[in-house]
């Protein structure tokens, strides 16, 4: 039985890498944000708007515990998931946790390439985004560093680069 939790800042590549990792391992993939949206039939920005960040984090904690009981899964967690409640301890107790460590410059590039709505960075200019990433990454780093494993991520441009990261993760967890 395998449970792999991918953690890291938004834009690190958790979903992109997680989908391919799950396929390579022959297990199910869950993006925690998508799981929440499916269960609540609302988009994350709607939940944020209705419940505030505190309300969202409470929902996120409950859904993490639900999906974290599934067997043979790769779970891509939201960027803030490890930083609230005892979520990091829970994930470490349930399986392998892998921190996808990307620099602020890489994160900014990935976020600017991305098409999804992200409530915490909406409306920020490129410069504001970089400052925001640097500041919030400092706050989140102590939580991310509690992961059992860490993998440095650079800008992901190709499928071969994704496959390379997937192979590294498989080596880490099978090592």
Q: What is the pLDDT along the chain (175 residues), one digit of tens a residue?
A: 899 999 999 999 999 999 999 999 999 999 999 999 999 999 998 999 999 999 999 999 999 999 999 999 999 999 999 999 999 999 999 999 999 999 999 999 888 887 566 767 878 888 898 899 999 999 999 999 999 999 999 989 899 999 999 999 999 999 8
Q: How far apart are CA 175 and CA 166, in angstroms?
A: 14
Domain membership of residue 170 (yes or no) is no
Domain membership of residue 146 (yes or no) is yes
**pLDDT of res. 52:** 94
Distance from the Cα of residue 38 to its chain's centroid: 17
Domain membership of residue 63 (yes or no) is yes
**pLDDT of res. 5:** 98
The total of structural domains in the chain comes to: 1
Residues 6 or more apart whose CB falls under 8 angstroms from that of 32 comprise 60, 63, 64, 67, 75, 76, 77, 78, 81
3 state SS of 87: helix
**Domain span at residue 38?**
3-164
Domain membership of residue 172 (yes or no) is no
**pLDDT of res. 125:** 85
**pLDDT of res. 9:** 96
**Rounded to 10 degrees, what is the CA torsion of 162, 5, 8, 114?**
50
Domain membership of residue 139 (yes or no) is yes
Cα–Cα distances in Å, from 154 out to 62, 83, 84, 100? 32, 23, 26, 10
Domain membership of residue 43 (yes or no) is yes
**pLDDT of res. 115:** 59
DSSP single-letter state for residue 74: E
> Which CATH number is 61's domain given?
3.40.50.300
**pLDDT of res. 119:** 67
Domain membership of residue 174 (yes or no) is no
Beta bridge partners of 97: 5
**pLDDT of res. 170:** 97
Domain membership of residue 171 (yes or no) is no
Residue pair 23/73 in contact (Cβ under 8 Å)? The answer is no
Q: In degrees rounded to 5, what are phi and psi of residue 152?
A: -75, 130
């Amino acid at each position: 039985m395998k449970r792999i939790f991918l953690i890291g800042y938004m834009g690190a590549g958790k979903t992109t890498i997680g989908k391919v990792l799950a396929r390579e391992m022959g297990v199910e993939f869950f993006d925690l944000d998508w799981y929440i949206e499916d269960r609540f039939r609302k988009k994350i920005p709607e939940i944020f708007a209705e419940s505030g960040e505190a309300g969202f984090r409470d929902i996120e904690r409950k859904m993490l515990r639900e999906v974290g009981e599934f067997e043979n899964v790769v779970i891509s967690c939201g960027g803030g998931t490890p930083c609230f409640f005892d979520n990091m301890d829970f994930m470490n107790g349930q399986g392998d946790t892998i921190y996808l460590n990307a620099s602020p410059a890489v994160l900014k590039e990935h976020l600017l390439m991305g098409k999804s709505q992200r409530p915490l960075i909406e409306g920020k200019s490129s410069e504001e985004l970089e400052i925001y990433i640097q500041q919030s990454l400092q706050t989140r780093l102590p939580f991310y560093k509690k992961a059992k494993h860490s993998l440095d991520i650079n800008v992901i441009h190709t499928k071969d680069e994704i496959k390379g990261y997937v192979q590294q993760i498989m080596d880490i967890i099978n090592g």
